[in-house]
Amino acid sequence: MVAPAPAKPGSASARAVRDVVFVDGVRTPFGKAGAKGIYAETRADDLVVKVIRELLRRHPELPPERVDEVAIAATTQIGDQGLTIGRTAALLAGLPKSVPGYAVDRMCAGAMTAVTTVAGGIAFGAYDIAIAGGVEHMGRHPMGEGVDPNPRFLADRLVDTSALVMGQTAENLHDRFPHLTKARTDAFAATSQARYDAAVKAGKIGPEFVTVATRSTEHGWGLASADEPPRPGTTVEDLGKLKTPFRPHGRITAGNAAGLNDGATGCILAEEETARELGLPIGMRLVAYSFAGVEPEVMGVGPVPATEKALKIAGLSIEDIGLFEVNEAFAVQVLAFLDHFGIADDDPRVNQWGGAIATGHPLASSGVRLMTQLSRQFAERPDVRYGITTMCIGIGMGGTVIWENPLWNGESK
């Protein structure tokens, strides 16, 4: 056998993959979409500006000119969520004009994709430090605004007619997995509300917020400092009385699904040695990530193959994961994930501070909310080495990122 020629200096094969770390994440409080929501008269790009400025305010050790990229996701890239929002928000936030930026769209996993995309650039050596996040103002820009699906999707029967309506895809999951009953989803939803309420009272949720000055023609100036969607005290009995808008006598309600929301998130990612050089905190270390496709009409099952693939890449098993942050687009979607991996509905490792059923789910922003909460949980749990952030994605996908706790003490998984 002829030995391969040595790699040329500077070639891709000669480069070592660099460690990528999540430094810190923040978010605006999430609001209810619509004319009465806290952000009804606030621009989407201004929400992103607040997030970027807050990240820089919290980390004066990071010179703004050291930021190499700004990637911001939005599902409906139109109006104040358009115009390459990563670049325009960076300029509006006061970053040097030398800092580039771009926009990302992978529906609900937009912010997650912004993170994994810039992380790949950091690992490869294209960047040392980047800001990634997402925004969705569903009050100004309802999901699907301005879209024009190719008629071939239906004419050629490429997807089921229900695939473009997320609530109907969740009903389809109930059909596919009849053991995932409405009673189970309502119980999970009530637990999400209770866990979130307990976390707020304990001060677990809130420190990551950036308060936002708001203006209303009717009410004047205000200050958004807390999430608007949560309903503390929600009971299973309350949830059982709600209507099922996607199907007569269905199972999906406004109570066991995330709402329509407005909000923005952002985080700092860095190459690990660069972070240490600047004195930036290391919240967690990226281990592996994966995106996978599934049948669009049951998009909620997407986290299952995405997680299996990410675990394989990382050389880990589900038993190695000590904390899970699973986006709660619909309770049935989370239960499908838990059932597949043999995890109990009320496992304390899963969404221990509640989830999107309580906080809300401003589509493209939610991935970084999951990451920020996991990072804060890692800081309290040196006994946990690995955690997962995962979510389903419209049009039939799932995304999963595996993270390592830098504070792990080696005493358990």
- pLDDT tens digits in sequence order for the chain, 413 residues long: 334 444 555 555 556 899 999 999 999 999 999 999 999 999 999 999 999 999 999 999 999 999 999 999 999 999 999 999 999 999 999 999 999 999 999 999 999 999 999 999 999 999 999 999 999 999 999 988 999 999 999 899 999 999 989 999 999 999 999 999 999 999 999 999 999 999 999 999 999 999 999 988 777 899 999 999 999 999 999 999 999 999 999 999 999 999 999 999 999 999 999 999 999 999 999 999 999 999 999 999 999 999 999 999 999 999 999 999 999 999 999 999 999 999 999 999 999 999 999 999 999 999 999 999 999 999 999 999 999 999 999 999 999 999 999 999 886 54
Residue 311: partners with Cβ closer than 8 Å, 6 or more residues away? 288, 317, 318, 320, 402
Which value, in Å, is the radius of gyration of the alpha carbons in the chain? 21
| 190 found inside a domain | no
Q: Is residue 161 part of a domain?
A: no
Range of the domain at 265: 20-141+257-404
In a 10 Å sphere around its CB, with 0-12 CB exposed, 13-18 middle and 19+ buried, how is residue 171 labelled? buried
> What is the pLDDT at residue 2?
39
Is residue 219 a part of any domain in this protein?
Answer: no
- Total number of domains constituting the chain: 1
CA angle 284, 329, 173 (to 5 degrees): 120
CA dihedral 309, 310, 316, 320 (to 10 degrees): -120
Residue 76 lies in a domain: yes
- The sign of the torsion formed by the CA atoms of 74, 75, 81, 84 equals positive
Q: With respect to residue 61, please indicate whether it lies within any of the assigned structural domains.
A: yes
Query: Which residues have a catalytic role annotated?
Result: 108, 361, 392
What pLDDT is stored for residue 10 in this prediction? 53
30: CATH: 3.40.47.10
Domain assignment of residue 130, yes or no? yes
pLDDT of residue 3: 41
Which pTM value belongs to this model? 0.95
Structure tokens at 321: 């994961």
Spatial CB neighbours of 377, under 8 Å, sequence gap ≥ 6: 323, 352, 353, 384, 387
CA distance 298 to 399: 15
Q: Is residue 400 part of a domain?
A: yes
What integer pLDDT is reported at residue 9 of this predicted model?
52
Beta pairing partners, 265: 27, 134
**Which residue's structure tokens are 């070592």?**
16
Residue 278 lies in a domain: yes
